[in-house]
Amino acid sequence: MGIFGNKKEDNKDESTGKKAVVKEKTTSKKASKDDAKTDVASTAGAYNTIIAPIVTEKSHAMVENHKYTFRVAKTATKLVVKKVIEEMYNVHVENVHVIVVKPKRRTVKQDRGYQKMYKKAIVTLRDGDHIAVFEGV
Protein backbone atom coordinates (compact mmCIF):
# COMPACT_ATOMS: atom_id res chain seq x y z
CA MET A 1 0.00 0.00 0.00
CA GLY A 2 2.70 2.46 -1.02
CA ILE A 3 0.37 4.72 -2.95
CA PHE A 4 -0.58 6.89 0.02
CA GLY A 5 2.75 6.79 1.87
CA ASN A 6 1.68 4.09 4.30
CA LYS A 7 4.64 1.78 3.71
CA LYS A 8 6.18 0.11 6.72
CA GLU A 9 9.41 2.00 6.04
CA ASP A 10 7.63 5.33 6.45
CA ASN A 11 6.93 4.60 10.12
CA LYS A 12 10.59 3.80 10.91
CA ASP A 13 12.89 6.42 12.37
CA GLU A 14 15.79 6.92 9.93
CA SER A 15 18.53 7.24 12.55
CA THR A 16 17.74 4.18 14.67
CA GLY A 17 15.77 2.03 12.25
CA LYS A 18 13.07 1.50 14.88
CA LYS A 19 9.44 2.35 14.47
CA ALA A 20 8.62 5.87 15.54
CA VAL A 21 5.82 6.16 18.05
CA VAL A 22 3.26 8.65 16.85
CA LYS A 23 1.02 10.06 19.53
CA GLU A 24 -2.22 11.44 18.27
CA LYS A 25 -4.16 13.99 20.16
CA THR A 26 -7.26 12.26 21.45
CA THR A 27 -10.33 14.34 21.98
CA SER A 28 -13.62 13.04 23.15
CA LYS A 29 -16.69 13.56 21.06
CA LYS A 30 -18.44 15.21 23.98
CA ALA A 31 -15.73 17.86 24.34
CA SER A 32 -15.89 18.76 20.66
CA LYS A 33 -19.70 19.01 20.82
CA ASP A 34 -19.50 21.36 23.82
CA ASP A 35 -17.03 23.56 21.94
CA ALA A 36 -19.40 23.72 18.97
CA LYS A 37 -22.29 24.70 21.22
CA THR A 38 -20.37 27.56 22.82
CA ASP A 39 -19.26 28.83 19.41
CA VAL A 40 -22.91 29.42 18.54
CA ALA A 41 -23.11 31.92 21.40
CA SER A 42 -20.92 34.39 19.50
CA THR A 43 -22.45 37.61 18.27
CA ALA A 44 -22.99 36.34 14.73
CA GLY A 45 -24.46 33.06 15.97
CA ALA A 46 -26.75 34.85 18.40
CA TYR A 47 -28.90 36.25 15.64
CA ASN A 48 -29.11 32.79 14.03
CA THR A 49 -30.12 31.16 17.32
CA ILE A 50 -32.82 33.56 18.52
CA ILE A 51 -35.23 34.02 15.62
CA ALA A 52 -37.89 36.29 17.18
CA PRO A 53 -39.70 37.03 20.43
CA ILE A 54 -43.16 35.51 20.69
CA VAL A 55 -45.58 38.24 21.77
CA THR A 56 -49.04 36.86 22.48
CA GLU A 57 -51.54 37.45 25.27
CA LYS A 58 -50.32 34.39 27.11
CA SER A 59 -46.62 35.27 26.78
CA HIS A 60 -47.36 38.87 27.79
CA ALA A 61 -49.07 37.60 30.96
CA MET A 62 -46.01 35.48 31.75
CA VAL A 63 -43.82 38.61 31.84
CA GLU A 64 -45.16 39.32 35.34
CA ASN A 65 -43.44 36.10 36.47
CA HIS A 66 -40.19 37.15 34.71
CA LYS A 67 -40.74 34.59 31.92
CA TYR A 68 -40.07 35.57 28.30
CA THR A 69 -40.84 33.49 25.20
CA PHE A 70 -38.66 33.32 22.09
CA ARG A 71 -38.78 31.41 18.83
CA VAL A 72 -35.38 29.71 18.45
CA ALA A 73 -33.50 27.67 15.87
CA LYS A 74 -34.31 23.97 15.65
CA THR A 75 -30.73 23.10 16.62
CA ALA A 76 -30.65 25.37 19.69
CA THR A 77 -30.13 23.80 23.11
CA LYS A 78 -30.91 25.16 26.57
CA LEU A 79 -27.28 26.05 27.22
CA VAL A 80 -26.93 27.92 23.93
CA VAL A 81 -30.20 29.81 24.44
CA LYS A 82 -29.12 30.83 27.94
CA LYS A 83 -25.76 32.18 26.77
CA VAL A 84 -27.24 34.03 23.80
CA ILE A 85 -30.01 35.71 25.84
CA GLU A 86 -27.52 36.78 28.51
CA GLU A 87 -25.20 38.19 25.86
CA MET A 88 -27.85 39.98 23.77
CA TYR A 89 -29.92 41.56 26.53
CA ASN A 90 -27.38 41.80 29.42
CA VAL A 91 -29.60 39.92 31.87
CA HIS A 92 -29.10 36.92 34.15
CA VAL A 93 -31.03 33.81 33.05
CA GLU A 94 -32.09 31.46 35.82
CA ASN A 95 -33.96 28.79 33.85
CA VAL A 96 -34.72 27.78 30.25
CA HIS A 97 -37.51 25.52 29.00
CA VAL A 98 -37.33 24.39 25.37
CA ILE A 99 -40.49 23.19 23.62
CA VAL A 100 -40.90 21.72 20.14
CA VAL A 101 -44.19 22.97 18.71
CA LYS A 102 -45.74 20.35 16.46
CA PRO A 103 -47.26 21.42 13.12
CA LYS A 104 -51.01 22.06 12.98
CA ARG A 105 -53.20 21.10 10.05
CA ARG A 106 -54.56 24.05 8.09
CA THR A 107 -57.04 24.31 5.21
CA VAL A 108 -57.10 27.26 2.79
CA LYS A 109 -59.94 26.93 0.27
CA GLN A 110 -59.39 23.48 -1.27
CA ASP A 111 -55.72 23.17 -0.29
CA ARG A 112 -54.83 21.26 2.85
CA GLY A 113 -51.46 21.42 4.48
CA TYR A 114 -49.52 21.84 7.70
CA GLN A 115 -47.86 24.71 9.50
CA LYS A 116 -44.12 24.47 9.93
CA MET A 117 -42.74 22.85 13.04
CA TYR A 118 -40.71 25.22 15.23
CA LYS A 119 -38.95 25.34 18.56
CA LYS A 120 -39.64 27.88 21.28
CA ALA A 121 -37.84 28.68 24.50
CA ILE A 122 -39.35 30.05 27.70
CA VAL A 123 -36.64 31.93 29.58
CA THR A 124 -36.93 32.79 33.29
CA LEU A 125 -34.92 35.82 34.42
CA ARG A 126 -33.66 36.88 37.83
CA ASP A 127 -35.87 39.29 39.83
CA GLY A 128 -35.22 42.86 38.72
CA ASP A 129 -34.09 41.95 35.19
CA HIS A 130 -36.35 42.63 32.23
CA ILE A 131 -36.24 42.65 28.45
CA ALA A 132 -37.51 45.84 26.82
CA VAL A 133 -38.89 44.07 23.72
CA PHE A 134 -41.90 42.85 25.72
CA GLU A 135 -42.61 46.13 27.53
CA GLY A 136 -45.54 48.30 26.45
CA VAL A 137 -47.04 45.87 23.97
DSSP string for residues in 32-88? HHHHHHHHTTSHHHHHHHEEEE---HHHHHHGGGTEEEEEE-TT--HHHHHHHHHHH
What is the maximum span of the chain, computed from C-alpha positions, in angstroms?
Answer: 82
Give the pLDDT confidence score for residue 134 in this predicted structure. 72
Give the pLDDT confidence score for residue 15 in this predicted structure. 57
The continuous run of DSSP H or E covering 89 comes out as helix 78-89
91: domain CATH number is 3.30.70.330
In a domain, 8, yes or no: no
Backbone angles phi, psi at 56, to 5 degrees: -130, 175
Residue-number span of the structural domain to which 33 is assigned: 25-134
| Count of structural domains within the chain | 1
The Cα–Cα gap between 63 and 56 comes to 11
In a domain, 15, yes or no: no
Give the pLDDT confidence score for residue 41 in this predicted structure. 46
In a domain, 3, yes or no: no
In a domain, 121, yes or no: yes
In a domain, 128, yes or no: yes
Strands 105-108, 111-114: pairing kind: antiparallel
Model confidence, pTM: 0.64
In a domain, 14, yes or no: no
Percent of the chain with pLDDT over 70: 66
